[in-house]
Chains A and B, each alone.
Chain A
Amino acid sequence: MNIQAASLRVVLQDIRDGLRSRAGRTALTLFAVIIGFASLTALLAVLGGLESKSQRIVKELGINVAGIFRQKSVDAKVDRGLEERHREVLARSFADCLFSSVRRFSVPTAGKDEPLTVIATDGDLARVRQWRLVEGRFLDAGDVAIRRRVAVISRSLNGRWGWKIDDLIELRGALFRVVGILDVGNGGLDAEMDTSPWIYGELVVFVPKTLGPLWLKAWDGPRPPVDAIFMSVPATRDFGQTVDLGRRLLAQPDLNAGLPSWVLPDTLRAGIQSLEKTIAWTGGSVSALCLILGGLTLMSLMIANVRDRVCEIGLRRSLGAMPRDIAFLFFLEGELTACAAAVIAVIFVHLVVLAGRLQTPFPLKLGASTVLVPIAAAAILAAVFSYGPARLAARIMPSEALRYE
């Protein structure tokens, strides 16, 4: 092909001349194509964010971990719900599994705007939920047995409020000594706090659950209630089968456990995937329409350019250009226009997302897919919508072209 003889610079100069001579029309086309690719990039960012959120939520619950949650009773007089004894029953039945029960409270703190989340639990919760200890230790059996006033704080509390090991902190008028700092791994999932009982946010303190009678009236009584029981199933056991057995065990009428809700990694994933699918269909349809409109605008620009440059086509043919050289010129012009629009759209959406990341009510994730997919789509879109105009240009006879004016 003759184009081989010309350097890339010469080809780009040809295209630049063509686009520059019709700057207004090119700008309008770019704008239309940018809208299409911006919508595609935004959709990819939302879908990526949801996928990432899905993975984080499942990871937050723990691998091979099931959460059993007390169901809020409609009738307050009915005495049914999760209790500490249900954890004991499960632990006896599945000796190789780890169990931990928790109660959750919101505690205002003097001098601070945000309330603390206090989790009253046993010494196994960190292991069950697979959290990483940053410093010190987690609660142990001794703390729970002798009701030691010790607390383990989240890393965020250490960082934001400056609490550290051996500090004395005050919770509802009682002093607790900090013995450990834990990475609860749910940074960025704060928006889920109100709806997901297994996510505790960033400002969280863990205390022995047996301390309840000393400062929380709710633990009183022979059958202390719990908000949740977490169960960690070892890799040697079948997770689904174990969960099924556990469900059937708690469903026995004499245990009076009510109908606790079971949260499993699969149910979490399914919920998010359903949302992803809905967004993919609705957002995808809008993006596809925008891209088709952008493509049609690009096509009309290319056709108008071919019509306006008939004389130039004639000149090129008189200088020895083959029809394929002419087709290549217009094809490349369409490709470059669409790819430039995609790059601008990608940069624009990335800047907007980065600027407003903290304020968005839905998760967004930028990555290779939000860059490469729009650019690849631009190349395909341009190939589809430039083909016709390029073919039209190539089929113009030089003698007809030179008579055009």
Chain B
Amino acid sequence: MSGVTRRFAQASGFHMALRGVNLSVAEGEFLAITGPSGSGKTTLLHLAAFLDRPTAGRIWFEGCETSLFEEEELSLLRKHKIAMIFQNYVLLPYRSVLENVLFRFRYMDHDRAESEVRAKEALAKMGLRGLEGRPARRLSAGEMQRVAIARAIVCSPRLLAADEPTGNLDRAATTAIMESLVALHRSGITILMVTHNEELLAYATRHVVCRDGVLES
């Protein structure tokens, strides 16, 4: 990212969420972003995951400058190369655990049988073997987040953007989730994680602090 600014219109004028942010993330890195509420962490993560466009500045992904990308091209990046994990999991409550993981393929051309095999492997990696048929609404918070991670990794993304992945979890579940993320990182996935919890910084390879829309190393 180079000179990235993100401004939001508000009733009282404009809110500057990010002010000329410069950030470089190397392939295979596990970067933790911390900072107080409203400092611009989530905005930065959304921009990195191409869920939003900067008001000014440029973003590169694998050597490509993306500011001129059409929505279709950004959508392809999100579909094939980037995965997101959310604080509130965003699962489909009426669908089974397996169907929630398979939902990752909803907007892709895919072979159903092959996708099922991969989904089951991802669930097994997250320690959820045997829960494939259970409706998502009947899971514990920790299990829900592990399903969300399985959904994120099932199609082997290059970048995993995690927004407060342990924000709603107890200590044991937090440890389990973080160990899962570390394992994913070791398998070669680049991870960007936004968190409030300074205890989690130990799991990351690098740490930046976001304050008032500006990054501090």
List residues of A whose CB falls within 8 A of some B CB: 2, 5-6, 10, 13-14, 17, 20-21, 311-312, 314-323, 325, 397-399, 402-403, 405
Contact = CB atoms under 8 A, between A and B. Distances in A.
How big is chain B's contact interface, by range?
A: 20 to 34
Given A311-B90, A402-B90, A402-B163, 19 more contacts: A2-B107, A5-B109, A5-B110, A10-B106, A21-B93, A312-B90, A314-B90, A315-B86, A315-B90, A317-B75, A318-B84, A319-B103, A319-B104, A319-B106, A319-B107, A320-B108, A399-B46, A399-B52, A403-B42
B72 interface: yes
B21 to A, nearest CB: 15
Given A5-B110, A399-B43, A403-B42, A318 B49 contact: yes
B79 interface: yes
Contact of A316 (B95, B106, B108, B163): B106
Contacts of B78: 317-320
B94 A5 contact: no
A11 to B, nearest CB: 10
B80 interface: yes
A120 B163 CA distance: 97
Contact of A321 (B43, B86, B107): B107
A17 B103 CA distance: 13
B112 to A, nearest CB: 8
Interface string B18-49: 00000000000000000000000011001001
Contact of A322 (B42, B71, B104): B71
Most B-side CB within 10 Å, residue of A397, A398, A405: A398
A320 B79 contact: yes
A312 B51 contact: no
Nearest to A21: B94
Contacts of A14: 106
A131 B179 CA distance: 93
B51 A402 contact: yes
A405 B88 contact: yes
B139 interface: no
A398 B107 contact: no
A9 to B, nearest CB: 10
Interface string B49-65: 10110000000000000
Nearest to A17: B94
Nearest to A1: B107
Contacts of B46: 398-399, 402
25 contacts: A2-B107, A10-B106, A17-B92, A311-B90, A314-B90, A316-B107, A317-B75, A318-B49, A319-B78, A319-B103, A319-B106, A319-B107, A320-B79, A320-B107, A320-B108, A321-B75, A321-B106, A323-B71, A398-B51, A398-B52, A399-B51, A402-B46, A402-B163, A403-B42, A405-B88
Nearest to B79: A320
Contacts of B88: 311, 405
Given A21-B94, A314-B90, A6 B106 contact: yes
Interface of B: 42-43, 46, 49, 51-52, 71-72, 75-76, 78-80, 84, 86, 88, 90, 92-95, 103-104, 106-110, 163
Contact of B80 (A317, A320, A398): A320
A318 B108 CA distance: 13
Contacts of B95: 13, 17
Contact of B76 (A17, A315, A320): A320
B107 A6 contact: yes
Contacts of A311: 88, 90
Query: Considering the complex of A and B, which 8 residue pairs feature the smallest CB-CB distances, nearest first?
Result: A320-B79, A399-B52, A399-B46, A398-B51, A320-B107, A2-B107, A315-B90, A5-B109
B71 to A, nearest CB: 7
Contacts of B93: 21
Contacts of B103: 319
Given A5-B109, A315-B90, A320 B75 contact: yes
Contacts of B107: 2, 5-6, 316, 319-321, 325
A319 B92 contact: no
A14 B103 CA distance: 10
A358 B107 CA distance: 55
Most A-side CB within 10 Å, residue of B71, B92, B107, B163: B107
Contacts of A21: 93-94
A21 B95 CA distance: 11
Contacts of B84: 318, 402
Contacts of B52: 397-399
Most A-side CB within 10 Å, residue of B76, B80, B84, B106: B106
A68 to B, nearest CB: 74
A322 B108 CA distance: 12
A322 B79 CA distance: 10
A325 B72 CA distance: 12
Nearest to A318: B84
A405 B167 CA distance: 13
A331 B88 CA distance: 27
Contacts of B51: 314, 317-318, 397-399, 402
B138 to A, nearest CB: 15
Nearest to A6: B106
Contacts of B94: 17, 20-21
A396 to B, nearest CB: 11
A312 B100 CA distance: 12
B94 to A, nearest CB: 5
